Structure 1
């Protein structure tokens, strides 16, 4: 399994990428080991909140 650490500034495009990675993770194609966030269209605090929300909704609440 390929370990993946994603660095994102979660808006709509990165939210879709996280959902795709979540599907691959659930299928055993990759192991999503973590997500880091950076500022993009919004500040880093909001991107962190967005990223956590997407991961939780995708059943990956244990991914840091």
Structure 2
């Protein structure tokens, strides 16, 4: 093997080791951002049925 082949192998080996270590560190320390909790259905509709709307069937007619 020539000197350039050895150098290329060394660089590739270091790059692979670096990549593996980076993936491990990201896996250990990365926590996905908590998405804002979407409103629950009950919270979203709270107050909507408090008003009488003509023709909605709740008037008792």
User: Do both proteins adopt the same fold according to a TM-score greater than 0.5, normalized to the shorter chain?
Assistant: no
Kindly indicate which of the two structures has a greater share of residues assigned to helix.
2
TM-score in terms of structure 1 length: 0.28
Kindly indicate which of the two structures has a greater share of residues assigned to strand.
1
TM-score in terms of structure 2 length: 0.29
